[in-house]
Structure 1
Amino acid sequence: MTINIKKSLVALAGALAMAAGAQAADLNSVIKGDQRSKEYAARDQYRNPAETLKFMGIEPDMTVVEITPGGGWYTEILGPYLSEKGKLYAAHFPEDSESAYYQRSLKNFKEKLAGNKEAYKNVIITEFSPQTGREVAPAGSADAVVTFRNVHNWMYRDYQDKAFDSFFAALKPGGILGVVEHRAKPGTSMEDMIKSGYVTQEYVIEVAKKAGFELEEASEVNANSKDTAKHPKGVWTLPPSLRLGDEDKDKYLAIGESDRMTLRFRKPKS
């Protein structure tokens, strides 16, 4: 009897290990998939999507909300990864926005999804509009909310608090909030953060905690020690923006994309 129990436990452990390995392989295969544009895939060396999503705890059977997906850099990964067992709410720019840029971005995003209906079959477009109070997803429905390089934009418009409140509302108790943001040096003023696009890690944590989140862990997976966070055109001096054009282009290409914080917060279970 004891031998049989031991054999059963060994078999179970092996099955679990195989399942975990298969899940990891699925994410890696999605990242290498044909649905990804070559331009986007070239940035993997800076954005580390596999390591980032694993750190955030994103699994293929989750309901995930991606905030302002823009051109769909992460949607190209999250959409297919969640396509069979999960769901992705893409909280994009408002449909009724008066901004020509917002309208163009939303139109292009919809065309991307329509161009590969199988990969994006479980993607639902919602709106991210903190100033109007619209839901990014039905209240209490999401296992995770993720946002990449967006916090500085909300600070410019002074609705960062409302943004984090909307994430808290969308999440189930115990849900995850994953944040990647350009990182300013400690002590950087609010004015300089807004102007440069770099935000202190302490400030992001402060805003998240104010909304009710608990910081679970910080990762250096997207750190870049070459980045001083002090550039003529702020973070947009670096690739992919290269706001100075050919001026010192090789210098900024050698630095690469910005130094970034990667944070995982948790909505309390009660």
Structure 2
Amino acid sequence: MRQLVAACLLAFSPMAGFAATTSVSRLVERAVADPSRPGDQRAADAFRKPAETIAFAGVRPGMVVGEFYPGGGYFTRMLSDVVGPNGHVYGIENDRWKSAVKANAALLADGRLNNVSIEAAPFGTARFPRPLDLAWVTQNYHDLKIPEYGIVDTAAFNRAVFQALKPGGTYFVLDHEAPAGTSDAAIAKLHRIEKARVIREVTAAGFKLAAEGNFLRNPADDRSLPIFDKKVQGRTDQYALKFVKPR
């Protein structure tokens, strides 16, 4: 009985929590350092900061993750490594983005990522085979406002994400900051969206804002320029938002 009590105390002790956090940090480090990642994706790490991004989002072993718009798998590979064999990453790609659909097929072709499934579907689709621990969209929330990619009711999309998550689950959004008052037409030109607007829209679906990450903020960014302009490309001012579905 004493041994059982001691084990329980250890499991809930600060040292146990520290050990668990350290273990996950090492998993993230190994995922980022994975030599099988393509060279062009590894080269992007300096400005995309994947370790900080994955840690902030709270990815853990065993999680069920819904990744919107993998785009060839920059984050998919790392998410797969971190959630491990007891977790799964379900990707949904915009079926209009043919190059991304092709890149995703190539990503899965060798069968190494056997805890990853990717479906091509109409833009704004938010359906998954299992309840999610984490819904993930990085640098693509603004695209939901661009009719060229597909007409999306963003409010309905956010409600569908809410339904797809388990109680207590996380909705993670990372995007490029836009000037105040940026219209949908301007979003299509700049590929940026205001943080304040994302917060308004996501919380309107029932989510609570849990945390903001500043690890990709850049006050020197000229937000009046499209993100693909060489003057700012790779150095845009980006925000990370972690929303939680109430229990």
TM-score, scaled relative to structure 2: 0.86
Q: 1:10 to 1:177 in 2, by over 3 A?
A: closer
Correspondence for 2:236: 258
Distance 2:83 2:8 in 1: 31
Q: Shift of the alpha carbon at 1:6?
A: 8.8
Correspondence for 2:108: 113
Name the stretch that deviates more: 26-35 or 154-163.
154-163
Q: Shift of the alpha carbon at 1:7?
A: 11
Correspondence for 1:217: 211
Q: Shift of the alpha carbon at 1:197?
A: 1.1
Q: Shift of the alpha carbon at 1:15?
A: 4.7
Greater Rg, structure 1 or structure 2?
1
Matching of residue 126 in structure 1 with residue 123 in structure 2: no
Does structure 2 retain, via aligned residues, the 8 Å contact 1:193–1:200?
no
Q: What is the RMSD of the two structures over their aligned residues, measured on CA atoms?
A: 2.5
Matching of residue 103 in structure 1 with residue 98 in structure 2: yes
Distance 2:202 2:99 in 1: 30
Tell me the secondary structure at the aligned position of residue 236 of structure 1.
coil
Q: 1:7 to 1:190 in 2, by over 3 A?
A: closer
Q: Deviations over 1:169-195 (max 9, x none)?
A: 211111100000010133333432332
Q: Which residue identity lines up with residue 91 of structure 2 in the other structure? A: A
5+ residue gaps, structure 1: 239-251
Q: 1:266 to 1:8 in 2, by over 3 A?
A: closer
Does structure 1 retain, via aligned residues, the 8 Å contact 2:27–2:81?
no
- Percent of aligned pairs with the same amino acid: 27
5+ residue gaps, structure 2: none
Q: Shift of the alpha carbon at 1:91?
A: 0.9
Q: Shift of the alpha carbon at 1:48?
A: 1.2
Q: Shift of the alpha carbon at 1:146?
A: 0.5
Q: 1:67 to 1:41 in 2, by over 3 A?
A: same
Does structure 1 retain, via aligned residues, the 8 Å contact 2:59–2:82?
no
Tell me the secondary structure at the aligned position of residue 228 of structure 2.
helix
Pick the aligned partner of 2:143 from 135, 153, 171: 153
TM-score, scaled relative to structure 1: 0.79
Matching of residue 235 in structure 1 with residue 236 in structure 2: no
Does structure 2 retain, via aligned residues, the 8 Å contact 1:35–1:76?
no
Tell me the secondary structure at the aligned position of residue 163 of structure 1.
helix
Q: 1:21 to 1:104 in 2, by over 3 A?
A: same
Distance 2:7 2:115 in 1: 40
Q: Shift of the alpha carbon at 1:35?
A: 2.1
Distance 2:7 2:133 in 1: 35
Q: 1:125 to 1:227 in 2, by over 3 A?
A: same
